[in-house]
Structure 1
């Protein structure tokens, strides 16, 4: 029998979800069966799949140590160098500045050098995270940027922060996310775009449509001009929803594709920017986070804004194009 004490980073989650993380190699059907057969209890009493864990609870696993250990997936700290910046950090939250070219999460091609793995190593080195101590919790991001989009990524350093950040993001306007980009054409007015986005899994591209259909997700984008030279415009974009390729596809759908965008952009323009500036990817930078609200342990962030400067290459392009523009 093994007994697990529920701490601050494990509370407020269903027991089945906790156990699915604690014994990652066990199937959910096995966990349900063990709960039903009373081989898993809470505070030595029968429990239900949907029981919400509280700090101070004790889970009893009436299983052999060999069985339990066989189901546990060992957490590994990747030995990778830190190459992200820090916009802001405190005991709860880290606003990381992701460089262009770095994935936020692992994928089929890259399972080691990602922003999240770099952050985990950074927190481990600073003695703020220890996988040997934590039962299931792992620091995680609550927003995602494309590999070739740079800027601010929000990281929760404890479970309470992650839950509150996710709740704020679900509320859509509690946390406001702003980007800087350069697009084709003369953008004149502030506009609000709404529509639906549907993904083509074969091409990894998305399409913008006007009406809802099966598999389509609602999108909401707001943009306004900062500067224009008539041929190109520097704009600020706010995303109310955060969908895959939302900014890139939404702006391209109205005739203002991002410069450098190989998926949705103008190939002739992209070639010119590559030749003139060495730009090999979309000009898109997540430059500002504004906390409209602050929930729970993040109440102190209410009304605060955090900024990330454009990377040097993008800043040079901006100056060259708009130094004398309105």
Structure 2
């Protein structure tokens, strides 16, 4: 590889938001895969490998975030620590808090108990049974702020958006995105379950070319020290700009 090729691959410096002798957490950038996948063979940067190179030791993922989602991502620093902590995720002993910008105004918070069928991948699940039962999926959500902007995406002269805080009580694939879509308040930037016209408005008017979903906080009782651990991740530049534009406060700036 010549110098021009080397410079074409920009090295990402991950923001470490928590570290002790057992675990490390980073603020995952939007658009970055957690680890290598044969489904994304063209990708060259992954959180797991980048973090390993950054701190000079292997890391073991305890959970995942979808590629377009940013925020708190926790790793164990040994396979032994991973084996200890992984069941805690399976048993939902970690409290996860997310923030999202959604279409429309949500007037009051609630708990959505709406089962979801497993989303099958066109390639990975090509030969899997198409008859799958819906699995329990529960999300608590709370509106924090709302705004009306002078831009039309349809029959109304304005558009309305809402800042929402969410806590998934289960861990289904794309649960928050699918639950918000079910409520008819899809998350902005969601190309799979969202509103194409609103997504285009965010891209071209607000230069927001990402899914507006962020894993803001992770809380758990440390399995080795029994301390109550709270890990927070701040919003990226796109989020910061939109919060300022809309006059919103979230506590995670």
How does the TM-score come out when normalised to structure 2?
0.80
Pick aligned residue for 1:285 from 207, 214, 236: 214
Is the contact between residue 262 and residue 281 of structure 1 (CA under 8 Å) also seen in structure 2? no
For residues 310 and 298 of structure 1, what CA distance do their matches in structure 2 show?
29
Indicate the residue corresponding to 2:65 in structure 1.
Answer: 145
Q: Displacement, 1:90?
A: 1.3
Work out whether 1:97 is the aligned partner of 2:27.
yes
Work out whether 1:233 is the aligned partner of 2:155.
no
Indicate the residue corresponding to 1:317 in structure 2.
Answer: 242
Residues 182 and 200 of structure 1: CA distance in aligned 2, closer, same or farther (over 3 Å): same
Matches within 5 A, 1:205-284: 214-229=132-147, 231-284=160-213
Pick aligned residue for 1:306 from 210, 227, 231: 231
Matches within 5 A, 1:80-159: 81-108=11-38, 109-110=40-41, 112-124=44-56, 129=57, 138-159=58-79
Q: Displacement, 1:112?
A: 4.5
SS at match of 2:86: helix
Q: Which structure is larger by alpha-carbon Rg, 1 or 2?
A: 1
Is the contact between residue 80 and residue 113 of structure 1 (CA under 8 Å) also seen in structure 2? no
Q: Displacement, 1:215?
A: 4.4
For residues 76 and 10 of structure 2, what CA distance do their matches in structure 1 show?
20
Indicate the residue corresponding to 1:200 in structure 2.
Answer: 120
Deviations 1:230-254 (A, max 9, x none): 6211011111222221111111011
Gaps of 5+ in 1: 1-78, 130-137, 205-212
Q: Which has the higher contact order (CA 8 A, sep 6+)?
A: 2
Q: How many residues align?
A: 221
SS at match of 2:226: helix
For residues 262 and 214 of structure 1, what CA distance do their matches in structure 2 show?
24
For residues 190 and 59 of structure 2, what CA distance do their matches in structure 1 show?
31
Gaps of 5+ in 2: 1-8, 125-130, 149-159
Is the contact between residue 80 and residue 118 of structure 1 (CA under 8 Å) also seen in structure 2? no
Residues 320 and 121 of structure 1: CA distance in aligned 2, closer, same or farther (over 3 Å): same
Superposed structure 1 runs of 4+ greater than 4 Å apart: none
Residues 279 and 184 of structure 1: CA distance in aligned 2, closer, same or farther (over 3 Å): same
For residues 68 and 234 of structure 2, what CA distance do their matches in structure 1 show?
16
Is the contact between residue 181 and residue 187 of structure 2 (CA under 8 Å) also seen in structure 1? yes
Indicate the residue corresponding to 1:73 in structure 2.
Answer: none
Deviations 1:144-197 (A, max 9, x none): 11111111100000223212221221221x211111111011112111112222
Residues 276 and 285 of structure 1: CA distance in aligned 2, closer, same or farther (over 3 Å): same
Indicate the residue corresponding to 1:16 in structure 2.
Answer: none
